[in-house]
Structure 1
Amino acid sequence: MNQRKPVTPFGWEIKQKLIEKRMDQKTFCTTYQIPASRLSNLIHETRKATRYRKQVSELLGIEE
């Protein structure tokens, strides 16, 4: 059975900032040319995705 990884504190910050901007993950990814899989990787920390982590942090105003 496929186990879902828990959302990390950084992932919760991403979700909170998206809610504040009234934007869903798909729209955010499409708007800023970020692969949806990489955003998911950041939220669940299944991969480092360092390049996109910095970009998402800057776009959403999240301090690392």
Structure 2
Amino acid sequence: MNKKKPVTPFGWAIKRRLTELQVDQKTFCEQYGIPPYRLSNLIHGTRKATRFRNQVADILEIPDDLR
């Protein structure tokens, strides 16, 4: 049984943008001081993490309609 939540539209936007920049999640988190588990929370929508959500969206230039 798979207990992992599916990726949210915001999560896909994060993954797409990281791919465009050719940066993996771990490196991105290290560069900007974001805990890897928080990025995972944002990708899967398990927590709001508003502070990190706004930070990630600003850094990756994700449009407001996907935030």
TM-score, normalised relative to structure 2:
0.91
Query: How far apart, in 2, do the equivalents of 1:3 and 1:41 lie?
Result: 14
Number of residue pairs matched by the alignment: 64
RMSD, aligned CA: 1.0
Task: Tell me the distance in 2 between the aligned counterparts of 1:21 and 1:2.
Answer: 30
Q: Deviations over 1:12-53 (max 9, x none)?
A: 000000000000000000000000000000000000100000
Asked if 1:49 is matched to 2:49, the reply is yes
The residue identity in structure 1 corresponding to 2:36 is: A
The runs of 5 or more residues in structure 2 that have no matched partner are none
Residue 37 (str. 1) matches residue 37 (str. 2): yes
Same amino acid, percent of matched pairs = 64
After TM superposition, the runs of 4+ consecutive aligned structure 1 residues lying more than 6 A away are: none
Listed as ranges, the gaps of 5+ residues in structure 1 are none
Normalised by the length of structure 1, the TM-score is 0.95
